[in-house]
Structure 1
Amino acid sequence: MTAVEDEVRHIETGPAPTRYARGWHCLGLIRDFTDGKPHQIKAFGQKLVVFAGEDGNVNVLDAYCRHMGGDLSQGEVKGNEIACPFHDWRWGGDGRCKSIPYARRVPLRARTAAWPTMVQDGMLFVWNDPEGNPPPADAAIPKIAGYEDPEWTDWVWYTTTIEGANCREIVDNVVDMAHFFYVHYSFPTYFKNIFEGHVATQIMNGVGREDVARPQAAGSDAPKNKGTSSTASYYGPSFMIDDLTYHYEDGNDVPSVLINCHYPIDENSFVLQYGVMVKKLPGLDDEAATGMARKMGDFIRLGFEQDVEIWRNKARIENPLLCEEDGPVYQLRRWYEQFYVDVGEVQAEMTDRFEFEIDTTKPNAAWRREVEENIARRNAAQQEQPV
C-alpha cells in the first residue's frame, strides 16, 4: 500500500456562512397571514413581522420599532399600518412611520427596513439580498399551471423546524442519487442533473423497494404503485417545484406538484416547508381528492423525516470523498455559491449550463441483489417461526 493510499482523509468542516442567500424565499401559505393580525417570523438571523392591512396587501418589516425597540409582532394592525405596542407608532408597509398619535410631526428619518414581497400560487415570498438590490426579472419563479384549476386540489401543507444544520444540507439532495435507496427506500432507475442560470434540476424515475414496508401514497386501498417519475427544479437557492407523477398498476397515473422550500432562521437552523397538490382522478369529489392529497403528503412527510434525522446528526463536510455514482456534488455547490456572493462576483462556472447523467446499471444490480437477499432471509425467518 502506498503512502497516498494509507493516508487518512480528514473532514474539512468549514464554518457555515453568516451571509444569507440572495433570492426569493417562501414564508408559507398566504392564507395564514391574512387574518388581520401581526405574525412573527424568525429568518435571516433576525425577527420579522408579517401583516396584512385593510387594503389586503401583505407586508414584511423588521420586527423591532426604530423608536424604542418595541416588538411590532406583538402590536396591532390598525388600518394599513402596524402599531407598536410600546408607544403606538404606526408603520406602513413601505417601512415609513405614518403617524405618531401623541406627536405634532413624524421625524424625517422615521423609517425601518421593508422587505420586497410577492404573492403567487397561494404562497407568500420575501426577497432577500444582502446588497439591498430589488429582485431582477430573471430571478422569477414560474407559476404553477394547476393552481386554482378546478381539476386540482388546493395545497396540503407541512412545516418543520430543523435545528443544528445549515440549509445547504437539503440542497445537496439534488444530486444525491444513492440516498434515495438507503434513506427513502426507492430504486432510482434514471437520474440526471441539469444546472443553468439560477435553476438546478433533478430528473429521476424510481420504483419502491420490495423488502421495506412502505405505505401507499394514495392509501392502502389503492392499486399497487408501480413507481414514480419526477422533474424537480430549484428556482434560486430555496424554492423547488417538483412535477411528480405516481404510476399505478391499474393504468392510472396521478399527477401531482410537490413544493419543497425553506428559509434560514440563522446559519445553523432553518424552516423546511413542503406542500402537495394533486390532479383529481375521474369520479372523485373534492373531499375525496383532498383526502388523497393528504395521504400523499403524509407519505412524503415520512421521507422528509428520514432526511431530517440524517441532517441533525451528520457533520458539515466541505471536501466530500466521492465515487463515480455520487453525482456532481462539487458542481452543484458551485451553482449554489452564486447566491452567496455579490452579483458582480458571480462567475460563469456558477451559471453556465451543466448536464450529468448517472449510469444506474451497477447501483441497481447491487441493490436488487441486496433486496432479494433481505427477502430471502425474512422468508426463512418466518418459516422457522413455531406454528
Structure 2
Amino acid sequence: MIHVTATESDAVRAIEAEAVSSRFARGWHCLGLAETFKDGKPHTVHAFGQKLVVFTGADGKTNVLDGYCRHMGGDLSQGTVKGNEIACPFHDWRWGGDGRCKSIPYSRRVPLRARTAAWPTMEQDKLLFVWNDPEGKQPPADVRIPVIEGATRDDWTDWRWTEQVVHTNAREVIDNVVDMAHFFYIHKSFPTYFKNIFENQTATQIMKGVTREDARRAREGSGGGGPRMLGNTSVASYHGPSFMIDELTYHYEGYDLHSVLINCHYPIDENSFSLHSGIIVQHSDALPPEAAEATAAKLSEFILLGFQQDVEIWKNKTRIDNPLLCEEDGPVYQLRRWYEQFYVDAADVKPEMTDRFEFEIDTTRPVESWKKEVEENLARSEGASA
C-alpha cells in the first residue's frame, strides 16, 4: 500500500502566470485576402502593437508601412495612393513601399533621413503576408509558407474568408494544437486518433474523428439536413507562429470531400489578436462546382461556429503557465517550448525548441469514456421524447 502524506495530497496547486511579453512573434503573418488591399485606397491595420498602413501602388505591389508620417505625425492610412506612393493627408509627403520619402511637392529636396519603417510583404495563394521580426532582419530564404495548390486551381472553390478580433493573448489559440479532449467537449467531435509532430518551424496535429451521434441527431432535429457526415481526417500544421494549413477530408456516406482550412492570426497587441479562417473545397464527381460552392459556404459557417466556441472559452479562462495535466492532455509544455523559438532572438533559438518531437495519445480510455457518455445522452433524449 502506498501512503501519501498530507503535504503531498492536500497542497493547493497555485496557478502561475507571468506578465505577457510585449514582444511579438518573428515570422510571416497573414493579413487576409490580397484582393482586399488592391482597391487603390490605403488600409489601416492594427498589428504588432502599432498602426500600419497597407496600400497597393500603380505597379500592383502591395506595401506595408508604419502608419504615421515621420514629418509631423500625419495618419498615412487617411492619405491617398498616388502612383506607387502613399501621400500623407497633412502635408502631402509621398512615401514609397521601401519606406523612403520619394518627394515633397513644395520642397526642392527630400531630407536624407526621410525614411519610415517598411515591412516585407509576400503574396501567395491569393493571400497577403507581412513579415515581423523584433530584430529588424529580413525573412531568411528558408523560412517559407508552403504553397497551397488548390488555392489557384479551377477545380477548387474560391476562398471563403472570415475574420474577427479576439481579446486575449495569441498563445491561447496555439494551445489547441495539442488539446485533443476539447474537440469532444467544445466542438462535439469524437477524436479516435491523435498525434503531434514538432520539427524546426512546423507544429503538426494529425487527427481522425467521427461525428458524435448525439450531436448529429440534435442537429437533424433542429432542421439540419443534407448528406450524413461520418467523420473526418485532419492533418493540420502551423508553419511558423501564426499560419496553420489544415488538409481536411470530410467523410460522407458514399464519398469524401477534400478541403483546405486556414486558421491564422496576427497580434494586435499583447492582449488581442485578429483571428482569420479560410476554406476552399475541391470539386468532384460527387460535388460539382455549384454544389462545392454551397458546401464551402456551409463549412465556412460551421468552422466559424467552432471558432466562436473556442472564443467563449478564451474570453472567460485565465492565462496559466503551469497547467496541471493528465496523460491524455498531450504535450502542452513541449508545444510551448517549440512556440518560444519565435519570441527570442534568432541566435538564442535552442535545439530543444526545434528538434523533432513526436507524441501519439493512447485514445483507448477517452474513446471508452466518450462512447459511454454519448450512449447515456441518447438514452436520456429518447426517454424524454417517449
TM norm structure 2: 0.96
Q: 2:23 aligns with which of 16, 19, 28?
A: 19
Q: Which moved more, 1:94-103 or 1:280-289?
A: 280-289
Change (3 A) 1:311 1:36: same
User: What is the match of residue 372 of structure 1?
Assistant: 375
Aligned partner of 1:103 in structure 2 is 107
**In structure 1, how many angstroms separate the alpha carbons of the residues matched to 2:261 and 2:150?**
12
Aligned to 1:75: 79
The one-letter amino acid paired with 1:340 is: Y
**Which consecutive residues of structure 1, in runs of 5 or more, have no partner in the other structure?**
none
> Helix, strand or coil for the counterpart of 2:91?
coil
What aligned pairs does 1:77-96 form with structure 2 within 5 A after superposition?
Answer: 77-96=81-100
- Give the match for residue 274 of structure 1: 277
Report the 3-state secondary structure (helix = DSSP H, G, I; strand = E; otherwise coil) of the residue aligned with 2:142: helix
**Cα distance 1:325–1:285, how it changes in 2: closer, same or farther (>3 A)?**
closer
Alignment size in residue pairs: 379
Q: Deviations over 1:135-180 (max 9, x none)?
A: 11221011011122111111000001001x1000000000000000
> In 2, Cα distance between the equivalents of 1:215 and 1:168?
32
Question: What's the counterpart of residue 329 of structure 1?
Answer: 332
Alignment partner of 1:140 is 2:144: yes
Deviation at 1:283, TM superposition (A): 6.5
> Is 1:223 equivalent to 2:227 in the alignment?
yes
Matches for 1:334-353 after TM superposition, within 5 Å:
334-353=337-356
Counterparts of 1:297 and 1:16, CA distance in 2: 32
- Give the structure 1 partner of residue 50 of structure 2: 46
Matched, 1:152 2:183: no
Counterpart CA distance in 2 for 1:59 and 1:210 is 49
Q: Distance in 2 between matches of 1:273 and 1:140?
A: 19
CA distance in 2, matches of 1:61, 1:135: 16
Question: CA–CA distance in 1 between the matches of 2:107 and 2:316?
Answer: 54
Quote the offset at 1:287 in angstroms: 3.6
Return the letter of the residue paired with 1:74: Q
Distance 1:286 1:249 in 2: 19
Instruction: Specify the code of the residue in structure 2 equivalent to 1:21.
Output: A
Matching residue's letter, 1:88: D
Counterpart CA distance in 2 for 1:277 and 1:283 is 16
2:315 paired residue number: 312
- Offset at residue 209 of structure 1 (A): 1.2
* 1:330 positional shift: 0.2
2:66 corresponding residue in structure 1: 62
Report the 3-state secondary structure (helix = DSSP H, G, I; strand = E; otherwise coil) of the residue aligned with 1:146: helix
CA distance in 1, matches of 2:227, 2:60: 44
The residue aligned with 1:298 is: 301
Partner Cα distance (1:314, 1:17) in 2: 19
Deviations 1:290-337 (A, max 9, x none): 121010111111111100000111000000000000000000000000
User: Percent sequence identity over matched residues?
Assistant: 68
1:288 to partner: Cα distance: 3.2
Shift of residue 289, structure 1, vs aligned partner? 2.0
Structure-1 residue corresponding to 2:119: 115
**Structure 2 residue identity aligned to 1:364:** V
Unaligned stretches of 5+ residues in structure 2: none
Moved over 4 A (4+): 213-216
The one of 175, 179, 183 equivalent to 1:180 is: 183
